[in-house]
């Protein structure tokens, strides 16, 4: 089994069609580009003339990459099929871009808290700290282990060496003290 090699796509040369194919594509371009441009202009409308030119170029570029095809198959129907598929791809890409930009525009602007909100938050935080300081040590530890550290009640019981019922009672009392402190505010 051969070892797998990772290749950078940028270093792989693009296949170049044989010179006969390049000449055939150039001849097809001379023969059909005006007709294809007119077809695309009618389909796109007047506002997108530059897009029509781009699609003509993209169509013949795609044709050049398909060097395995016979020159006889490069008729107007085949060129129109390539161009229409490129046009559909372009419409899909633009619809996706538009939807993405609309979704970005619909996002609410980030709101910075006002000085009043920050002051109110600081007061509330100070009130919580005062209530926690007035709690018995075990009750405060139960509350912090549950709410800050996210431990389950059984784990807190193991850490503190008490039953789950004691942990539940301490946690309930801690919450009651906090609620009463904010009822007074």
* pTM recorded for the entire structure: 0.47
Do 14 and 101 lie in one domain? The reply is yes
Do 50 and 119 lie in one domain? The reply is no
| Domain assignment of residue 89, yes or no | yes
**Total domains present in the chain:** 2
pLDDT (tens digit per residue) in 7-60: 454 454 444 444 446 777 788 888 888 999 999 988 888 667 788 888 999 888
Report how far residue 113's alpha carbon sits from residue 131's, in angstroms, rounded to the nearest whole number: 25
Question: What phi-psi label fits residue 118: left (phi over 0), alpha (psi between -120 and 50 degrees) or beta?
Answer: alpha
Do 22 and 51 lie in one domain? The reply is yes
68, 74, 58, 78: which is closest to 18 by C-alpha?
A: 68
Domain that holds residue 141: 115-183
Do 37 and 102 lie in one domain? The reply is yes
| Domain assignment of residue 2, yes or no | no
Report how far residue 49's alpha carbon sits from residue 46's, in angstroms, rounded to the nearest whole number: 6
pLDDT (tens digit per residue) in 122-176: 988 898 899 999 999 999 999 999 999 999 999 999 999 999 999 999 999 999 9
Do 36 and 86 lie in one domain? The reply is yes
């Amino acid at each position: 089994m051969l070892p797998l090699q990772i290749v950078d796509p940028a270093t792989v040369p693009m296949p170049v069609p044989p010179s006969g194919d390049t000449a055939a594509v150039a001849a097809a371009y001379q023969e059909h580009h005006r007709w294809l441009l007119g077809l695309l202009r009618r389909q796109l409308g007047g506002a997108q003339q530059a897009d029509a030119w781009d699609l003509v170029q993209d169509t013949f570029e795609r044709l050049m990459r398909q060097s395995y095809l016979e020159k006889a198959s490069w008729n107007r129907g085949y060129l129109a099929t390539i161009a229409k598929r490129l046009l559909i791809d372009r419409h899909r890409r633009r619809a996706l871009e538009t939807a993405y930009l609309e979704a970005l525009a619909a996002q609410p602007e980030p709101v910075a808290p006002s000085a009043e909100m920050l002051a109110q938050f600081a007061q509330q935080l100070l009130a919580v700290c005062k209530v926690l300081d007035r709690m018995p040590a075990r009750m405060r530890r139960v509350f912090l282990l549950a709410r800050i550290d996210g431990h389950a009640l059984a784990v807190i019981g193991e850490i503190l060496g008490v039953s789950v019922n004691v942990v539940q009672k301490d946690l309930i009392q801690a919450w009651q003290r906090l609620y009463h402190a904010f009822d007074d505010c």
